[in-house]
Structure 1
Amino acid sequence: MRNPLSANEFFDEHLSALISSVLFIGVFVVSVPMIYFMNLSPSSELLLFTLLFAVCHLANWPMLRIRWRLWFRGRLTPYAAMVTTALLAGSFGIPFILLVDLIQ
C-alpha cells in the first residue's frame, strides 16, 4: 500500500483537475452577473443558467472523481482531504446550490 498523498503531491499529480475546478469559479463569477445585466427574457435566462449548471458538472467531474476515489482508498492525508474538500465546496458546492436556486 502506498503512502497517502500530501496536499503538495496531490497538486503535483492532479493539476489538470484542479485547474478545471478553479477555472469554473472564474466562469461562474463572470457569467452570472453578465446574464443578469443582459436583460434577457426569462426563458433565455433560464437556458443560460441551465447551461452553466451543466458546465459546473463537467468542469468539476474530474476533481470529484479523483477525490472520491482517493478518499475511500485512504490515499489522502487529512490536510490534502481538507484542501480538496474546500476547493470543491468553492467550485462545485456553492455554485451548485446557487444555480439550483436560480433555475427554480
Structure 2
Amino acid sequence: MTLDDVLRDIHAMREDLLVFERKYGVPSEMFYDSYSRGEEPADPSWVMDWSDWAAAYRILQERLSLFADESRRLLQSAQIASYVDLIERTARHESIPVHR
C-alpha cells in the first residue's frame, strides 16, 4: 500500500459519506456518535445503510490517521525533508510505501 492508495481510500470514503449525509440529512460525525451508542433506525430498511455508513466512517478515520502517522514517520526518519517535499512527491504520484 502507498500513500496514494491511502488518499484514494480517503476520497472514496468521503464520497460514500456524502451520499449518506444527503440521504439522511445529518453529518456523519453526528450519525456515528448516535450509532456508536447503540441507537438504531426505526425503519428496518435503513439498517443495512446505517451499517455501511458506520463502516465507511470508521475506514475514513483509520485512513486519515494512517496518512498522518506515515507523513510524520517519513519526516522524522528524514525520508522527506518537509511537508512541502511530501506534497511535491505526492503531486507527482510517486510510489511512497506505507509501513504499517
Place the TM-score, normalised by the shorter chain, in its bin.
0.3 to 0.5
TM-score between both structures, scaled by the size of structure 2: 0.39
Which has the higher Rg, Structure 1 or Structure 2?
Answer: 2
Q: TM-score of the superposition, structure 1-length normalised?
A: 0.38
**Higher share of residues assigned helix:** 1
